[in-house]
Amino acid sequence: MPKILLAEDDNDMRGFLVRALANAGYEVVSFDNGKSAFDRLREESFELLLTDIVMPEMDGIELARRATELDPDLKVVFITGFAAVALNAAAQAPKDAKILSKPFHLKDLVNEVERVLAA
């Protein structure tokens, strides 16, 4: 079963995402900030990092950059309401990262996760 690390600072959104992914058969470990998520990544490997971009302590772009330095095979999906401005060239986000713009349907999230993991 693929393991997903989720970093999302909105408690309600994080709960919805965890339930949707768990119902789709994924093992999900979630955190409310990038720093805690990165600390876990240093201890355990995951197939996918699903992260909000705007978060306290460490934003999602920094989390993804540092996470893929630890594990270059880690796949990354950003979930954000700021996709149009968030991933400019200076952001140094992982080049193969995907973006899912809020609001989105939970079915769309599960489909995108399935596509990314199958790639």
For 78-99, the pLDDT digits (tens) are: 998 765 555 555 556 777 888 8
Give CA–CA dist 40/18, Å, rounded: 17
**CB 98 within 8 Å of CB 106:** no
Q: Which pLDDT score is estimated for 92?
A: 66
pLDDT-wise least confident of 33-47, 70-84, 86-100: 86-100
- Which CATH number is 3-118 given? 3.40.50.2300
Helix (H, G, I), strand (E, B) or coil at 19: helix
Q: Which pLDDT score is estimated for 23?
A: 97
Q: Which pLDDT score is estimated for 110?
A: 96
Q: Which pLDDT score is estimated for 6?
A: 98
Give CA–CA dist 39/18, Å, rounded: 19
Burial of 45 (0-12, 13-18, 19+ CB in 10 A): exposed
Asked if pLDDT for residue 18 goes beyond 90, the answer is yes
Q: Which pLDDT score is estimated for 103?
A: 86
Give CA–CA dist 36/20, Å, rounded: 22
| Residue 109, CA distances (Å) to 16, 101, 103, 114 in order | 11, 10, 10, 9
Q: Which pLDDT score is estimated for 95?
A: 74
Q: What is the pTM of this model?
A: 0.91
Binned at pLDDT 50, 70 and 90, residue 1 comes out as confident
HSE value, Cβ hemisphere, 13 Å, CA-based, for 4: 28
